[in-house]
Structure 1
Amino acid sequence: MSQAEDIVAAAGVSKSDKGPSQASVLVKIARERFELFMSEDGRPYAVAKNGPNLALPLRGKAGLRSQLARIFTDDNTGNVPSQSALADAMTVLEGIAASADPRVPHLRVARHEGGIVVDLGTSDGRCVVIGPHGWDRVPRSPVLFRRSGAMKPLPDPVRDGDGLARLRGLLNTSEEGFRLLVGWLVAAFLPDLPHPILTFRGEQGTGKSKAAQMIIGIIDPSGAPKRTAPRDLKSWGVQAFNSWGLCLDNVSVIADWLSDALCRAVTGDGMIDRALYSDDDVVVLEFRRVLAMTTIDAGALAGDLAERLLTIELSLIPDSKRREEAELDAAFADAHAAILASLFDVLAAVLKALPDVTLTERPRMADFARVLAAVDHVKDWRTLESYRTSARNAVADVLDGEPFAQAVVDLVDKAPPEGLTLTAQELLDRVDTPDKLPKKWPKDSTRAAGQLKRLAPALRTIGIDLDDSKRQPDGNRSRLYRLTAAESRRITAPGAPAAPGTSSDQHERPGATGDASTRTAPGSTRTAPAPGAPGAAPGAENRPAPASGTPSDQPKHPSPGAPGAPGAEMQPLSDVATPRLDVIERLIGTCAGCGQDMTILTPGQTHHPMCESDPA
């Protein structure tokens, strides 16, 4: 058989058949029934002219290739096209798609004319359109969507009572945490803004994994709603490209590369990889995703990732109230449609309110914060305040887990009010260095400078400012780092020296500020205001500590743990002579006997108790 005859036979046409080849028939079917185009990331797609507004990839499972094979077989009394004919047809169709104007196929959610379109994931292409005046089910989407094998259909939303109340009954969190969760779910249907990573945190037995599975299932059901951390960047990119919502389950430690990848996925990411069976062609994976994870302790996370977290604390479920998984699954499936309807009601109201919402102060995730402000306006809640508290605590948790960060914070807390100005090497020399260096402890000034730069946003969150805009005037031109603590931090930081001008009879700190949600502990980066201070918990009384009765020129007593103090160890709060056990008032002065600095803890003290010159 000649080469020409081989080609004809490969195309599925006999020598006596003068009609079009199978490949030609397949191309004709495709051009008559589908529109062909390239996406902006260079992938060829087809969309049915008289069918659902769904982008079909030319190759792969459930793509145009399999559709054409089915149509050809139906139109030719069961005759199946050859693989070579399908391959030839795909090559021609890819060329046709490349000549068309590019289009953007969306995944699960999309913007459209001031509203939001949610793909229900059904075979007929039904969707829900949400606008400022409500929502409605539509038989054909007004925007182009694509599907992936990881997606499952959403139920048609149905108003059946209070869906949010039914969701509340399925989750093991506080009312404040639940309201934050509702705000996050509403924002999850807005595709063009960065979403914080929802983090369920709690000890074993708090239902973290089940809660995450349900929440991701509300917005983007999948056969694998909970996933283990990916092993490499390529596998992560494939997962993120094919799902709108993803959850990483039981996270304890996140590798640096994955931490960076998660941060990019929040704000928008793109990855380039070599095309299959090609040496010089590439494919691009672009995505911005809604992410969740579960963890027992988020302290091992990187600082830049911590700033993108929204943490929901879960409490331990008593054995008497624990429910079987099958029961929870059935309850969730029964409530899913009503939950969606209630969320879409809130989303519609938020879309109406958003144009009039303006933030005077914008946190790191400013777009999400604005959505929360709109939710608060609609529901009369305080989710934005709760989010700010959650973000600060997440950053504090991370700083508490980094020994070098703790050492820097301790050094700044002990510095005078004007702060410190020093080089990276000087900083490295002055911080308390552990005998055995931790893994991430900087080993030279270059690495110390890099860590300072990375820690700067987290340090600002807890009230420590870093300015590295100046250099030394000498010849080496080393960069200078100026570290200063905010006034509220200087007031509340453990062991911090008093601000200038503090007299011995001033036990109440004027102007103390802080956040009621932060906490104070030895060695912790968290700080808390005295109850009653501006920013303290609602209802806290503003009561000054009792006056010491010590004149301003009287000597004062040493702080617990200082040289000469009894036992040279931290004095318990219960031993402090003050009616407020959660506050230690410190007044720095000089001992009348030895002249060293000391701190008054009880009225009338003038000497170190162990000082040799003490007449007692």
Structure 2
Amino acid sequence: MTTHVNGTTRTSSADLARKLLENNGVDPDKKGPSQASLLAALARERYELFMSDDGRPYGIPVGGPNIALPLRGKAGLRSQLARIFADTHHGTVPSQSALADAMTVLEGVAAMANPRTPQLRVARHDDRIIVDLGTTDGRCVAIGPDGWQRLGASPVVFRRSGAMKPLPEPVRDGDGLAQLRELLNITDDGFRLLVAWLVAAFIPDLPHPILTFRGEQGTGKSWSAAMVIGIVDPSGAPKRTAPRDLKSWAVQAFNSWAICLDNVSIVPDWLSDALCRAVTGDGIVDRALYTDDDVVVLEFRRVLAMTTIDAGALAGDLAERLLTIELQLIPDHKRREEAELNRAYADAHSAILASLFDLLAQVLKALPKVTLTERPRMADFARVLAAVDNVTGWHTLDSYRATAAGAVADVLDGEPFAQAVVDLVDKAGPDGVTLTASQLLEAVETPDKLPKKWPKDSTRAGGQLKRLAPALRTIGIEVDDSQRGPKPKKQRLYCLTASPERRCETAFPASPQASKPSVTCGNRGDASEGASASPHPAEGDADPRTASPHATPSDLHKRERGDAGTAGNAISYLLSGDPTPTPRCTECDTPLADFLVATGETTHPGCAPTLTARS
């Protein structure tokens, strides 16, 4: 039946239901359709159903914003269908069983469609990056090499979560970066590095280092971290406590593009591994709801931040993925109230986004031309930093390398076994040491009271050395475990050597009696130049004047660069005061390390199966 109100023709809910049934092959003249049938017909009429790559069913409103609604959940298709049904049936509420039956049918329909992947907050579309503003009408911002623009509808399918809040529309209103600078108490280098990290946070297809705000109490770590995360991905809970288990962490990470863990002091091993996987891309398998044997996969790569006082408590592999920003102590006369800061941030948010998007557009234009000759662990992020430097003239890549090395050094300070290994290698000379795990455990200096992390046997020692190898390389100690000992045991050998730069900086400090000005490792001279040689040894060399107190000026001219009997054995000269070369292995004729000489050994550990004594 149709009615006419003020010249407008309206179709009754009964006629609408009849039409829906006819369109879906149901005879309306037979026994009245069930609620489940009506719900399924409504959904197929109004939503485009599909299954995501991870096995989750979604529906997109036909003719509406490009936002994927999950079939279940408070903000999902189930609740939307219940509302539509009530609106079209004079307020009649569908039963829970009817909704459940309808969902089962709709999941089957979604499984037959081509799979799609709904994105969260940011997505790549051709040569542009699409940022979802999180509004109900689906507005977004598209950033490309030629600039950015606001769009009324997204070309990419996005999904939403209850943890998300809308982003303000970017508006060019002065210098947004200068306004952001006024809200932070960090150094200029730290601020530039933070800006580069924020630019990279809007690029979805690369690993992002974990932004770490470090400082003592009263430096504003928590507020600064919440503000920075809010710039990228506003949330009702921008700061989170450490999750209690892997499942709770997976749920948090799946539903937020950017996450901040606040006041981190101790990171358990499982969470440290989970954070590392979230940086590079992770997938966690979980049992599907209402099933016994079906599973779903939570896939995510996230932008992470955390606040801490002591980053040295973190594991080495996690420390390599940090970008540390040191916060300065705020004097009492400069401290601002939080309400004032919140107002200033809210007023500046739109301008900050506009300035960041301007810089991101320039970075996207410069990136294809950027090539790195040396790539650190987070190589993709480092390339973005190089593009930022190319555009702005900053030196964020150098700052990042320095902060990464500092974080790893802090971690090694908290590893007693690593410190013992470092001391052993520093004393061993340019040839380093080659030992089995059991020999290494015997060779290092053991504390009277073993620390908690000290390996209890050779198996644990080898495993810990393997885990520490990337951190040791960062400070200039190379770890090679590819060699095997002689038969019949063929035990794994660990070859540990210090780089020439590390030997220059740690083993051979400049002589205070040197008549010539000190030459740094960056501009060191050649030892073959005699009296004019640098008090720091050249790469691969040791300074004869420092190594041997008995050396004469004529000796300096006789010793050639890289000679194993002179510069290569300078540690022996330093320890013994005797210019006699270090004894060589009777099997392979390579110089023996000092701790082997001290024990009376005549063969290299790679040639002899065991050590007879500790150094």
Q: TM-score, structure 1 length as denominator?
A: 0.80
Match of 1:405 in 2: 418
Tell whether the 8 Å contact from 2:65 to 2:154 is kept in structure 1 after alignment.
yes
Q: How does 1:6-155 map to 2 (within 5 A)?
A: 18-155=31-168
1:460–1:507 Cα change, 3 Å: farther
Give the drift of 1:108. Answer: 0.3
The one of 228, 235, 257 equivalent to 1:222 is 235
Match of 2:278 in 1: 265
Give the drift of 1:278. Answer: 1.6
Answer yes or no: is 1:384 the counterpart of 2:397.
Answer: yes
The one of 310, 326, 337 equivalent to 2:350 is 337
Match of 1:465 in 2: 478
Match of 1:202 in 2: 215
SS in 1 for 2:313: coil
Runs (4+) of structure 1 exceeding 2 A deviation are 16-19, 496-499, 504-511, 530-535, 546-554, 586-592
The one of 300, 307, 310 equivalent to 2:313 is 300
Give the drift of 1:365. Answer: 0.2
Give the drift of 1:457. Answer: 0.7
Match of 2:387 in 1: 374
Q: Deviations over 1:154-193 (max 9, x none)?
A: 0011000000000000011000000000000000001110
Q: Distance in 2 between matches of 1:492 and 1:238?
A: 47
Answer yes or no: is 1:512 the counterpart of 2:511.
Answer: no
Q: Distance in 2 between matches of 1:297 and 1:236?
A: 22
SS in 2 for 1:481: strand
Answer yes or no: is 1:423 the counterpart of 2:436.
Answer: yes
Give the drift of 1:492. Answer: 1.1
Answer yes or no: is 1:588 the counterpart of 2:588.
Answer: no
The one of 323, 327, 330 equivalent to 2:336 is 323
Tell whether the 8 Å contact from 1:132 to 1:348 is kept in structure 2 after alignment.
yes
Tell whether the 8 Å contact from 2:363 to 2:391 is kept in structure 1 after alignment.
yes
Q: Distance in 1 between matches of 2:30 and 2:338?
A: 62
Letter in 2 for 1:372: L
SS in 2 for 1:468: strand
SS in 1 for 2:402: helix
The one of 171, 174, 184 equivalent to 2:184 is 171
1:327–1:479 Cα change, 3 Å: same
Q: Distance in 2 between matches of 1:384 and 1:591?
A: 44
SS in 2 for 1:588: helix
Tell whether the 8 Å contact from 1:265 to 1:289 is kept in structure 2 after alignment.
yes
Match of 2:600 in 1: none
1:392–1:101 Cα change, 3 Å: same
Tell whether the 8 Å contact from 1:271 to 1:286 is kept in structure 2 after alignment.
yes
Q: Distance in 2 between matches of 1:511 and 1:316?
A: 33
Q: Distance in 2 between matches of 1:77 and 1:344?
A: 49
Unpaired segments of 5 or more residues in structure 2?
1-28, 524-533, 554-571, 583-615
1:60–1:171 Cα change, 3 Å: same
Q: Distance in 1 between matches of 2:434 and 2:383?
A: 36
SS in 2 for 1:276: coil
Q: Distance in 1 between matches of 2:373 and 2:71?
A: 49
Tell whether the 8 Å contact from 1:105 to 1:146 is kept in structure 2 after alignment.
yes
Count the aligned residue pairs.
520
1:309–1:273 Cα change, 3 Å: same
Tell whether the 8 Å contact from 1:108 to 1:118 is kept in structure 2 after alignment.
yes
1:221–1:178 Cα change, 3 Å: same
Q: Distance in 1 between matches of 2:535 and 2:184?
A: 31
1:416–1:507 Cα change, 3 Å: farther
Give the drift of 1:120. Answer: 0.4
Answer yes or no: is 1:275 the counterpart of 2:274.
Answer: no
The one of 457, 466, 490 equivalent to 2:503 is 490
Answer yes or no: is 1:254 the counterpart of 2:267.
Answer: yes
Q: Distance in 2 between matches of 1:141 and 1:590?
A: 74
Give the drift of 1:588. Answer: 3.1
Tell whether the 8 Å contact from 1:491 to 1:509 is kept in structure 2 after alignment.
no
1:491–1:532 Cα change, 3 Å: closer
Letter in 2 for 1:155: P
Letter in 2 for 1:512: C
Give the drift of 1:19. Answer: 2.4
Give the drift of 1:513. Answer: 4.0
Match of 1:161 in 2: 174
Q: Deviations over 1:297-346 (max 9, x none)?
A: 10011000000000000010000000111111111011000000000000
Q: Distance in 1 between matches of 2:292 and 2:549?
A: 83
Unpaired segments of 5 or more residues in structure 1?
1-15, 515-529, 536-543, 555-585, 598-616
Match of 1:552 in 2: 551
Give the drift of 1:86. Answer: 1.1
SS in 2 for 1:299: helix
SS in 2 for 1:293: strand
> Where is the helix percentage greater, Structure 1 or Structure 2?
2
Letter in 2 for 1:144: V
Q: Distance in 1 between matches of 2:398 and 2:88?
A: 63
Tell whether the 8 Å contact from 1:505 to 1:552 is kept in structure 2 after alignment.
no
Tell whether the 8 Å contact from 1:507 to 1:547 is kept in structure 2 after alignment.
no
Q: Distance in 1 between matches of 2:343 and 2:116?
A: 40
Tell whether the 8 Å contact from 1:513 to 1:534 is kept in structure 2 after alignment.
no
Give the drift of 1:509. Answer: 7.0
Q: Distance in 2 between matches of 1:323 and 1:480?
A: 58
SS in 1 for 2:482: strand
Q: Distance in 2 between matches of 1:247 and 1:176?
A: 22
1:93–1:416 Cα change, 3 Å: same
Match of 2:359 in 1: 346
Q: Distance in 2 between matches of 1:372 and 1:550?
A: 48
Letter in 2 for 1:249: D
Q: Distance in 1 between matches of 2:211 and 2:83?
A: 43
SS in 1 for 2:167: coil
Q: TM-score, structure 2 length as denominator?
A: 0.81
Give the drift of 1:532. Answer: 11
Q: Distance in 1 between matches of 2:327 and 2:38?
A: 60
Q: Distance in 1 between matches of 2:120 and 2:145?
A: 22
**Greater Cα shift, 471-480 or 185-194:** 471-480
Q: Deviations over 1:560-609 (max 9, x none)?
A: xxxxxxxxxxxxxxxxxxxxxxxxxx9938669xx9x9xxxxxxxxxxxx
Q: Distance in 1 between matches of 2:58 and 2:448?
A: 61
Tell whether the 8 Å contact from 1:505 to 1:551 is kept in structure 2 after alignment.
no
Tell whether the 8 Å contact from 1:160 to 1:338 is kept in structure 2 after alignment.
yes
SS in 2 for 1:67: helix
Letter in 1 for 2:551: S
Q: Distance in 2 between matches of 1:165 and 1:143?
A: 32
1:533–1:35 Cα change, 3 Å: farther
Match of 1:180 in 2: 193
Q: How does 1:231-250 map to 2 (within 5 A)?
A: 231-250=244-263
Letter in 2 for 1:477: K
Tell whether the 8 Å contact from 1:372 to 1:384 is kept in structure 2 after alignment.
yes
Letter in 1 for 2:574: I
SS in 1 for 2:312: coil
Letter in 1 for 2:101: D
Q: Deviations over 1:461-513 (max 9, x none)?
A: 100001111111131111111110001100111xx2689xx9x9797776724
